[in-house]
Structure 1
Amino acid sequence: MSKRRILAGGIAQESHSFNPVLTNRVRFNIQSGLDAIASARGTNSLLGGILDAAGQADVEVLVPTLFRAQSGGPVEDAVFTEMRDIMCNAAKRGDFDAIVLPLHGGMLTPTLEDPEGELMASLRAIVGPDLPITVAFDLHAHVTCRILETCDLLVGYLTNPHGDQGNTGRRACQAAFDILDRRLRPVLSAVHVPMLTLGHDRTDEEPLMGLHARARAAVASGLAYDVSIFNAQQFLDVHGLGNWVLAYGNGKDAGRDSLALELAQSLWDQRCALIGTYPSLDECLDRAERGTERPLILGDQGDRVAGGGPGDSTYVLGALLARPGLPASVVPLTDPVSVAACHAAGKGAQVTLDVGGRFSTVAPPITVSGKVLGLGTEAHVTYDGPADAGYKSKIGAFAVLEIGKVHVLLTDQPYSYLDPDYFRAMGVNPAEMRVIITRSGYHFTLNFAAMGECITVDTPGMTSYRVDELPFTVARPFFPLDEPNFVPVLVDHPSRRD
């Protein structure tokens, strides 16, 4: 019997409808074939998990291409088309037994609300109705009926902050094997909940912790094969925005239907508790001035590149510069014009620049004067983990500007700084700083926990959870902007293997 093969790859990016800066090809880490496999093997990533599961089953993995970028504005159509054509051309060769896609969900292009669904539908049209297609998503994905109708099984992360990327890839891969071996005939119980979770949605805290415990118990008891609870990305102005509960099992089962309905009703009942509050930036900086036992790692909630923001808000930088009594601090800022000016001036030069605020209009540009400490055209990052441990990324052109005790990391592209190695890659040791700013809300907390006290701060901007300040039109109605008359119902769609 010939060795089994699976096709894996695709595109992973989370888009923000209200970020006017399109995500271009330069923003993507693009790998294929043996390079993609070597880079992902042994990492806590979706593809890493797929490779682990395939290796244990002695199954070969083919990766025509994998495009991966940090969050940002919608992806240029040409980038999506390039990736889709590569994947579809590989699918036309037909030299594989299943497709397992390590995606993200929640991506947009200027012309597509559901590019993941478009990719999956294109692949399904090529391979026909019988070949298994399973998919792994971030739990903040935008789930659509088209996605559910096209794939055999969709799994999402079970942790937030995300620490189970590898295990999610393994779940998706194992499901494909179970379908091939006729151990699984997946039938889905799905419920859509027209609400957003806004900040109080860690899975290691209530109320989500209890919901995930019930889902795990259902899988452990055999009531369900897999259960995912999707808490949608909050900045997508798309049709059908909201949370989803997906419970898969073998064949129809009234008990699993009841489970999905119960979990969805519990989400809705606790919708107010899922809206979080945060300390102010001033509170945290007051503490830093007084002195803290451990460094403070602060997530700039209003301009989170991890949430799709542009990363050029000067709100935090202005607050740091206004407090000369603060200890050593570091703050990142996206500003390609200032990066170019620093490169033109040279290392060691004194420069005066208008930095940031080109897209984050709540915090306009700030005029600063400082010394150029470091320059580079490219730097390489390897995640410490545990989230995405071992994942390799790179930074484009950058400059390090010293303004008193404030170090400003200027980059020509936005980055979320989810891992300490972003700072080290640009020559700044975060362990020597007492205040460290990340462009993330809480995903940074896993990888920075060993270094200091991690705090999300309430700052203004397009990624703040003040969703009433954003011009939603298509996505409404949803809670908390509206109070839909919600009663959980099973979504009626054709089950792929019913």
Structure 2
Amino acid sequence: MARILVGQLWHEGHSFNPVVTDRDEVSILRGDELLAQARQSQTAFSGIVREADRLGHTCVPVLGARARPGGPVAQDLFEEIVAEFVAAARKGDYDAICLELHGATISQDTVDTEGELLQRLREAVGPEMPISVALDLHAYLTERMVANATIITGYRTQPHADMVETGERAMALLDALLKGTPRPTGMVTFIPFLMRGSDETDAEPMRGICAQADEWRSQPGLVDLSIFNIHPFIDGPRAGQAVLAYDDGGDAGERASRALSETLWRLRDRFVETLPGVAEVLSRAGENSGLPYVLGDQGDRVLGAGPGDSVEIARVALEQFPRLAVALPVYDPEAVAAAQAAGAGATLRRAIGASVNPALHPLEAEWQVRRLGRARFVNKGPYMAGVEADFGDYAVLAAGALSVVVTSLVPNAHDPAFYDCVGLPLSSQRAVVARSANHYKLSFAGVAIPVTVDTAGMTAFRPQDLPFDKIRPVYPLDEVHWDFEGGFMRLPA
């Protein structure tokens, strides 16, 4: 049985979100505490640890660093995290490395952070050490990442219902290498277009593409196959879509890569969607006496690395549906401080929200301070079940039937446990808001009716509104002529 060096780095970055992800936004666990948390939660790292347990391997933990999606990680913090991984790797006394990385982490000075981490690890351990990595489906996959890992595998579902299974697969692939399976040949194809919606894997066009991928995975000689619908708010070279294949040295990987990448390119104009407006969905919520509605805020989804400061849904609720019980979180540390100074029960008139995104506007009203506290809770799941969330200090500000939960840390709200924590359970509301467009549907299933709405903001699928530079040329911002041979790279054995 082997000793496996394990660790985690999970953060999804947005190149145009100016809010730096600093130390107070990052949870870091080490040692037995890290392993214990993994064994009771539902993440890819949980899958890595539990599969290692099942196989009889010993996990040697380095660290697990987790932060909500958002602006770049502070550079000094990123360097410290990398240095700790490298120092642990240099100590030796282990047989292989298995990591959960998001794949779309960015820091203030580094857009390819996971490539940087993996390269420094490879330099520390040499060319023969097996390194297996589990990635998010929205990883910003780079050639440097693939070149420095032995094998990488990604989530296969959006919303991400298979995080645990992906971690298990990363460990199982590593286990096979430790038992003598030859090192696979890796190859990556980059397809230069940005998705503008319609990216869920249980609906077309991704449903058909995923079925095609499953057929290829059953072919002899193919070791693993992942499609990466790269996070569309990272401005980096070759950001777009990617297909990553591993085979036994034959031609299965190249054939699968060609089929899938050419399908993705052919269907590039089908990755768009038309979402309902806020007023339309709130009207439905007012007419429906059954389950409450949960609105996914497409334009300011923290799970898409937005700042969480939009009050656009609140504005529609206050102005057009003043008697409808609606609740939502908004990042506004100054409003929290003002509410704390005024005290529970006080009334204050002020503008809230839109403190980060210059394209949005604050919402001014007379607010009653209904409740003060700390927004710290554990996600019910199934998405991120068992993972603790902390949105900092909060204040519930009420104007009529509208309740705005202003927070001192960016509110990565995708689980009903948040509303329980702040004293606004779903049973008391006709509509609540999730700072998510997809994953919230997993955790609100059966307790609310999920509808993602069209809103303005940094995470709207409107690439023409963002100042992309390094990624270009990329479709639809540019006229791009692409073929498989130009995007395909086979990695050296």
TM-score over 0.5 (shorter chain): yes
Picking from 225, 236, 260, the partner of 2:257 is: 260
Could you tell me whether the CA contact under 8 Å between 1:302 and 1:460 is conserved in 2? yes
Q: How far apart, CA to CA, are the structure 1 residues paired with 2:93 and 2:389?
A: 30
Query: Deviation string for 1:394-447 (max 9, x for gaps)?
Result: 231111112211111110111221111122122221232111111111111111
Give the superposition deviation at 1:177. 1.1
Residue pairs, 1:210-289, within 5 angstroms: 210-250=208-248, 252-289=249-286
Picking from 413, 416, 423, the partner of 1:417 is: 413
Change beyond 3 A, Cα 1:181–1:260: same
Picking from 287, 290, 294, the partner of 2:291 is: 294
Query: Deviation string for 1:14-69 (max 9, x for gaps)?
Result: 11111111111111111111111111114220110001110111111122211101
Question: Which residue is 1:480 aligned to?
Answer: 476
Question: Which residue is 2:189 aligned to?
Answer: 191
Question: Which residue is 1:444 aligned to?
Answer: 440
Picking from 71, 81, 92, the partner of 1:73 is: 71
Give the superposition deviation at 1:213. 1.5
Could you tell me whether the CA contact under 8 Å between 2:297 and 2:453 is conserved in 1? yes
Where 2:406 maps in the other structure, the secondary structure is strand
Identical columns (%) = 36
**Residue identity matched to 2:283:** D
Q: How far apart, CA to CA, are the structure 2 residues paired with 1:228 and 1:337?
A: 43
Number of residue equivalences: 492
Could you tell me whether the CA contact under 8 Å between 1:136 and 1:172 is conserved in 2? yes
Give the superposition deviation at 1:160. 0.1
Could you tell me whether the CA contact under 8 Å between 1:164 and 1:387 is conserved in 2? no
Question: Which residue is 1:165 aligned to?
Answer: 163
**Residue identity matched to 2:203:** E
Give the superposition deviation at 1:282. 1.8
Question: Which residue is 1:57 aligned to?
Answer: 55
Residue pairs, 1:56-205, within 5 angstroms: 56-205=54-203
Q: How far apart, CA to CA, are the structure 2 residues paired with 1:12 and 1:86?
A: 15
Q: How far apart, CA to CA, are the structure 1 residues paired with 2:20 and 2:33?
A: 27
Note the residue ranges of structure 2 that are not aligned, 5 or more in a row.
none
**Residue identity matched to 2:253:** R
Q: Which moved more, 1:61-70 or 1:155-164?
A: 61-70
Residue pairs, 1:454-473, within 5 angstroms: 454-473=450-469
Question: Which residue is 2:304 aligned to?
Answer: 307
Where 1:373 maps in the other structure, the secondary structure is strand
Q: Which moved more, 1:444-453 or 1:148-157?
A: 444-453
Query: Deviation string for 1:273-312 (max 9, x for gaps)?
Result: 1112211112112222333532111011111111111111
Picking from 189, 207, 210, the partner of 1:209 is: 207
**Residue identity matched to 1:286:** S
Could you tell me whether the CA contact under 8 Å between 1:43 and 1:166 is conserved in 2? no
Could you tell me whether the CA contact under 8 Å between 1:135 and 1:151 is conserved in 2? yes
Could you tell me whether the CA contact under 8 Å between 2:292 and 2:426 is conserved in 1? no
Give the superposition deviation at 1:170. 0.7
Could you tell me whether the CA contact under 8 Å between 2:310 and 2:353 is conserved in 1? yes
Could you tell me whether the CA contact under 8 Å between 1:145 and 1:493 is conserved in 2? no
Q: Which moved more, 1:363-372 or 1:407-416?
A: 363-372
Where 2:62 maps in the other structure, the secondary structure is coil
Could you tell me whether the CA contact under 8 Å between 1:29 and 1:393 is conserved in 2? no
Give the superposition deviation at 1:494. 3.3
**Residue identity matched to 2:310:** S
Where 1:63 maps in the other structure, the secondary structure is strand
**Residue identity matched to 2:279:** D
Q: How far apart, CA to CA, are the structure 1 residues paired with 2:25 and 2:132?
A: 27
Question: Which residue is 1:350 aligned to?
Answer: 347
Question: Which residue is 1:402 aligned to?
Answer: 398
Picking from 359, 364, 367, the partner of 1:362 is: 359
Query: Deviation string for 1:423-476 (max 9, x for gaps)?
Result: 212222123211111111111111112111111111111111111111111111
Q: How far apart, CA to CA, are the structure 2 residues paired with 1:353 and 1:246?
A: 51
Question: Which residue is 1:392 aligned to?
Answer: 388
Q: How far apart, CA to CA, are the structure 1 residues paired with 2:14 and 2:466?
A: 11
Q: How far apart, CA to CA, are the structure 2 residues paired with 1:104 and 1:25?
A: 18
Where 1:415 maps in the other structure, the secondary structure is coil
Where 1:297 maps in the other structure, the secondary structure is strand
Q: Which moved more, 1:432-441 or 1:333-342?
A: 432-441
Could you tell me whether the CA contact under 8 Å between 1:288 and 1:326 is conserved in 2? no
Note the residue ranges of structure 1 that are not aligned, 5 or more in a row.
none
Could you tell me whether the CA contact under 8 Å between 2:187 and 2:489 is conserved in 1? no
Where 2:59 maps in the other structure, the secondary structure is strand
Q: How far apart, CA to CA, are the structure 1 residues paired with 2:322 and 2:369?
A: 22
Could you tell me whether the CA contact under 8 Å between 1:163 and 1:388 is conserved in 2? no
**Residue identity matched to 2:199:** D
Q: How far apart, CA to CA, are the structure 1 residues paired with 2:489 and 2:321?
A: 60
Give the TM-score taking structure 2 as reference length: 0.97
Where 2:488 maps in the other structure, the secondary structure is coil
**Residue identity matched to 2:59:** V
CA RMSD of aligned residues (A): 1.5
Q: How far apart, CA to CA, are the structure 2 residues paired with 1:264 and 1:238?
A: 20
Query: Deviation string for 1:219-252 (max 9, x for gaps)?
Result: 23434221100001111111111111111122x2
Could you tell me whether the CA contact under 8 Å between 2:31 and 2:62 is conserved in 1? yes
Question: Which residue is 2:26 aligned to?
Answer: 28
Could you tell me whether the CA contact under 8 Å between 1:6 and 1:98 is conserved in 2? yes
Q: Which moved more, 1:201-210 or 1:320-329?
A: 320-329
Where 1:398 maps in the other structure, the secondary structure is strand
Q: How far apart, CA to CA, are the structure 1 residues paired with 2:375 and 2:70?
A: 20
Where 1:258 maps in the other structure, the secondary structure is helix
Where 1:80 maps in the other structure, the secondary structure is helix
Could you tell me whether the CA contact under 8 Å between 2:294 and 2:431 is conserved in 1? yes
